[in-house]
Amino acid sequence: MKFTLPVKDICVTQPFGMNYLDFYKNLGMKGHNGVDFKAGMDCKVLSAHDGVVSYCSIYNDGEDNNPREKWMRHLEIQSLDKTFKTVYLHLLRFESNIQPGIKVNAGQVIGRADNTGKYTTGNHLHFGMKMIDVNGNTINYDNGYMGAIDPTPYFVEKYGKDWFRSASYNRYGRKQDWMAEWKMRFKNPWLHRQLMKRGMNPIWGIEPINALVYGEWDFESVINPALYESWGYLTKREFLSGKRAFK
């Protein structure tokens, strides 16, 4: 079983099983029962697999006066063989054609991200996975995660161990050019001087080197940490065309 990533730009803000400050323990769980992906408001959310929408609803998640915090938008998709389901939480809205019983394909847009619900601290997508029986009921609900299991191995199976890395780390999907990388990293005196002037290691890491080699970014942009969301996830050509990450 292999999962398609549920958002285009990948930045995991909270992995499965984490329990910051006993937050999930106070909710009766061992830890976080899903994987949180960074996603700006109105960011497209994609189905991770072929399946059928089994749950699509808005429900009261608290008593706050803020409607966005009070009403949780929650979607679930059951696998075609009825052995598991995936869960998508904190949505802004569902796509107009999404309703229970509708078949969806892997990679299909099913909704838009936000931070709806009481227990959320900002815009993101909570992605979960649960094994089910033939009637759609969650198996092992008392496992400490309300039946959820870690979906990470299914991303690894499809994308490899670096599935959670940025686009620049993965060369923006381009074929690797070992020679170009080697020359940029070790045989570029100008780059080394600029880095040393700033008190930095003259041998740069994978992401910034790839941004220069494959993303066609300029040094001043890459040296600016405030622009990481731009060069880390988009080529310069994509950025100049108007594209933005996590949108």
Taking the C-alpha atoms of residue 107 and residue 105, their distance in angstroms, rounded to an integer, is 6
Work out the average pLDDT over 119-135: 93
Amino acid present at 97: N
Q: What three-state secondary structure class fits 116?
A: coil
Of 114, 86, 119, nearest to 6 by C-alpha is 86
Do residues 77 and 110 touch, judged by C-beta distance below 8 A? yes
Is pLDDT at 26 greater than 90 in this prediction? no
- Give the list of residues 6+ apart from residue 245 with CB closer than 8 angstroms, or none: 9, 229, 230, 232, 233, 234
Domains of the chain: 12-159 (2.70.70.10), 171-240 (no CATH)
Of 8-22, 156-170, 182-196, 228-242, the least confident = 8-22
Tokens of 5: 């990533």
Q: What are the E-state strand segments in 61-133?
A: 71-79, 84-89, 91-94, 103-104, 109-113, 124-131
Average model confidence (pLDDT) across the chain: 94
* 210-232 residue pLDDT tens: 999 999 999 999 999 999 999 99
Instruction: Decide: residue 143, CB within 10 A, 0-12 exposed, 13-18 middle, 19+ buried.
Output: middle
Residue 67 has what pLDDT? Answer: 63
Global confidence as pTM: 0.92
Work out the average pLDDT over 98-118: 95
Is pLDDT at 68 greater than 80 in this prediction? no
Residue 28 has what pLDDT? Answer: 87
Phi-psi region of 178 (alpha: psi -120 to 50; beta: other; left: phi over 0): alpha
